[in-house]
Amino acid sequence: MSARAKHFGSTIILTMMALILCLTAGCRNKSSVVVLRLAHTLDTKHPVHAALEHMAAELEKASNGKMRIDIYPGGQLGSERETIELLQLGAIDMVKTSTSPLEGFVPGMAVFGIPYVFRDQDHFWNVLNGKVGKQLLELGVNKKLRGLCYYDAGSRSFYTKDRPINSPADLKGLKIRVQNSSTSIKMIQAMGGAATPIAFGELYTALDQGVVDGAENNPPSFLTSRHYEVCKYYSLDEHTMVPDVLLISTETWNRLTEEQRGWLQAAADASVKFERELWNQKTQDALDQLAANGVKIIHQDKQPFRDAVKELQDSFEGTEAGRWMEAVLEQK
């Protein structure tokens, strides 16, 4: 099947799903309770899913039952890209996505995929909680995408089947799964590997069948996905800190009253604090469990990796992401 045919088929499916969801939404909005549909692709055991449940509970409590969030996890409503498109169509109300696929809709979000743009966790959260982070959340408003908050998704590192990644040279000849992000693809290429975009839900099979030799993600995701059953090397090069972001359709946002917006934003903010505390705990627990399941955890020198992507960083000069990179680097 040609790429055009696949795209056409995907468009038809999305349109049909949007119509079904919109019809259902029309039925549910006849009641006095405002029900918001939220989609994401993570497992229900993931810390971010727990944070979304916490947000839903906080919202229902603050609104005295006048607002409710129905959560559709595990890719029930499609991949991250597909759910973002459904959000733009107004078929669903909210989406939790990584910023990596979001850069295809909001180019400035590519700044998060630039390797080693953040010095450490303190620098990362100073940016997200500051002026730059708030401006980035608003970048997609003209695309019908409004950011509400960020969730910690840790640092992304390589995990592989047959050999550890001690330096960029070890990536040569390996097919590494990445998110559907041009920045992620360029990063793997800069380090000498072959980048292979694959949907997260299809990755276990792709690893098991040898379609790819490895992938990159944070410790909790590596654990909850059970990819450790196939990949026995985890190399903590921590090349990127790519947050998750909670989006709401601008159509939905504009329909809410000021009071309802306040309840929702407060619930989202409460879920961020909840998730960060849970994430730190889950990250260490995940590393311990991975080691207990026979995964070799490798702490290597990161400087060769930083050197390998220096030209990639420089290539963003003059671009939308490059301008945001300068703003990030200026943040203390």
The whole-number pLDDT of residue 332 equals 81
Q: Which of 242, 268, 262, 243 is nearest to 94 (CA)?
A: 268
C-alpha 300: how far from its chain's center?
A: 25
As a whole number, mean pLDDT of residues 259-265 equals 98
Alpha carbons 154 and 174: distance in angstroms, whole number: 24
Average pLDDT estimate for 153-159? 95
Q: What is the mean pLDDT of residues 248-272?
A: 98
Mean pLDDT (whole number) for 59-64 = 98
**Burial of 157 by CB count in 10 Å (0-12 exposed, 13-18 middle, 19+ buried)?**
buried
Residues of the chain above pLDDT 90, percent:
82
CATH 3.40.190.170 maps onto the chain at 3-153+243-274, 156-241+285-330
Sequence-distant (≥ 6) Cβ neighbours of residue 58 within 8 angstroms: 266, 267, 270, 271
pLDDT in tens, 67-80: 999 999 999 999 99
- Reply yes or no on whether the pLDDT at 212 is more than 60: yes
Tens digit of each residue's pLDDT (9 = 90 or more) over 5-21: 445 455 555 555 555 55
User: Span 244-263, mean pLDDT?
Assistant: 97
Q: What is the pLDDT of residue 31?
A: 63
DSSP line for 284-306:
HHHHHHHHHTTPEEE---SHHHH
Residue 114 near residue 313, CB atoms below 8 Å: yes
Q: Is the pLDDT of residue 24 over 90?
A: no
Total count of residues recorded for the chain: 332
Query: 202 to each of 10, 49, 75, 126, 207, how far by Cα in Å?
Result: 17, 19, 11, 34, 9
Rounded to an integer, the average pLDDT of 167-190 is: 93
What is the number of alpha carbons within 13 Å of residue 253 lying toward its C-beta?
A: 18
- Which fold would CATH assign to domain 156-241+285-330? D-Maltodextrin-Binding Protein; domain 2 (3.40.190)
In CATH, which of 3.40.190.170, 3.30.450.20, 3.90.1150.10, 3.40.640.10 is domain 3-153+243-274? 3.40.190.170
Looking at residue 268, what is its pLDDT?
Answer: 98
**Per-residue pLDDT tens over the stretch 269-283:** 999 999 999 999 999
Q: In this prediction, what percent of the chain has a pLDDT beyond 70?
A: 91
Instruction: Convert the pLDDT of each residue in 317-332 to its tens digit.
Output: 999 999 999 999 998 8
Highest-scoring range by mean pLDDT, 115-119, 183-187, 228-232: 228-232
Looking at residue 3, what is its pLDDT? 47
Q: What local confidence, expressed as pLDDT, does residue 13 receive?
A: 53
Alpha helices in the chain (DSSP H): 3-28, 47-62, 80-89, 99-102, 121-129, 131-137, 182-190, 203-208, 219-224, 250-255, 258-292, 303-308, 310-314, 320-330
The reported pLDDT for the residue numbered 12 is 52
User: What would the mean pLDDT of 111-139 be, rounded to a whole number?
Assistant: 95
Report the pLDDT averaged over residues 156-163.
96
Average pLDDT rounded to a whole number, residues 43-52: 92
Written as six digits, the tokens of 254 are 């504009």
Whether pLDDT at 304 is above 70: yes
Average pLDDT across the chain, whole number: 91
Q: What pLDDT score does 27 carry? A: 45
Residue 202 pLDDT: 94
